[in-house]
Structure 1
């Protein structure tokens, strides 16, 4: 039985963490940029400890109004300052609970932008340089930030999205499109199986494109997130896969 990592973005105001954590193996905790506070960070860290879930920080563009899902025109210096402030907030809570930090995963538009923009990637990596030797960075497959991070000695894990559709260029389908999100649990399972067992992703043009992944994201704010996790947790073992040993 092979174990795969399923991660969830949490602490974003949905309030479903207590139900999600028993079925995931790593989490990305919002730390004040797009959502999150000391209270929600602490709540998620305590759940992570209770359910043996690997802890990640989930910094974002400083844009609560748009939930961090809109690209920002921001200077490198201001981005670095914001990300470092978010990480300081996160660390101020985490250090008191003595919970290990496993990874950092940028959120939303920032995640998508550094996947394509080298200068922005450099700025983001500089902002988390203090964590370079201790933690992983979750990045998209074959992205600009993956290449820049590896070149600069960062440890990376490749992330794929279990509940999102892909274009042929392996960019995610825009959330402005009706088919951006996969909400049907059976379709999510098929999506994960293709990626985990066949190392391909089926795009919206019905083509199989090669892609490797180390971790698979199900967004905590997807309305059917709980149903998806319950379904795939039940059925993955039929394919010799499991989320937690």
Structure 2
């Protein structure tokens, strides 16, 4: 996507993690075009997931299954060395549960996005990446996998015949190699709404983002994640949406 130049024909998907029992989901649904709905393993009660899917459907927002490690106490942000067969079963269970909820409210699950430590693990962890891909394949292989460009998980998904959705992050720091700065390190999370908005516009139009060392890296993204659980999340999201509109970028999910 790098160097494409400014164009009114540019389309970008905005996604956010919802149904986690934190943040203002209602406000975020007014901004985003895709909702990564928690599946209960790291956050979210059945009632919260039903309400979130129903609200997303009413808002015309695409629903994705936000699968994770079974780690409610750590909010899914701790690596877990789970056997591949067990991880595949965990992912199958989560997607299946959310698909049932979505159907009950007249909607459908349109993609899969791993959450937190699982997302970061399968950037490089081959066995866990294969386990996640295997679950989607066993469900029929119709759901795209959302992930970091260049990750092992997306390469394995494409090899298995799955569609993929490349993703960038509005408010997360990047290393020079294109991976995310761990949340335990300085520069991991951006907090200024105006700076985040400028960054996303540059990312969408030019296909580049500044790494923590000041270098520019190429990022090919079809979707931008706006975290819903960080301080000022709604203000960040609204600033991004407004800045994209002013730059002639259309916010929409590619169905």
User: Shorter-chain TM-score: which interval?
Assistant: over 0.9
2:21 counterpart (13, 18, 24): 13
2:118 counterpart (107, 110, 113): 110
- Larger displacement relative to structure 2 (55-64 or 45-54): 45-54
Return the offset for 1:67.
0.6
Answer yes or no: is 1:179 the counterpart of 2:187. yes
Measured in 2, the distance between the counterparts of 1:236 and 1:94 equals 29
Answer yes or no: is 1:192 the counterpart of 2:200. yes
Q: Aligned residue for 1:30?
A: 38
Spell out the pairing of 1:140-219 with structure 2 (5 A cutoff): 140-219=148-227
Measured in 2, the distance between the counterparts of 1:230 and 1:123 equals 36
Return the offset for 1:98.
2.6
Secondary structure at the counterpart of residue 105 of structure 1: strand
Aligned residues: 245
Return the offset for 1:37.
2.1
User: What TM-score do the two structures reach when normalised by structure 2?
Assistant: 0.92
- Larger displacement relative to structure 2 (116-125 or 149-158): 116-125
**What is the alpha-carbon root mean square deviation over aligned residues?**
1.5
Residues 161 and 15 of structure 1: is their aligned pair in 2 closer, same or farther, counting only changes over 3 Å? Answer: closer
Q: Aligned residue for 1:226?
A: 234
User: What TM-score do the two structures reach when normalised by structure 1?
Assistant: 0.95
Q: Is the 8 A contact 2:18 2:25 kept in 1?
A: yes
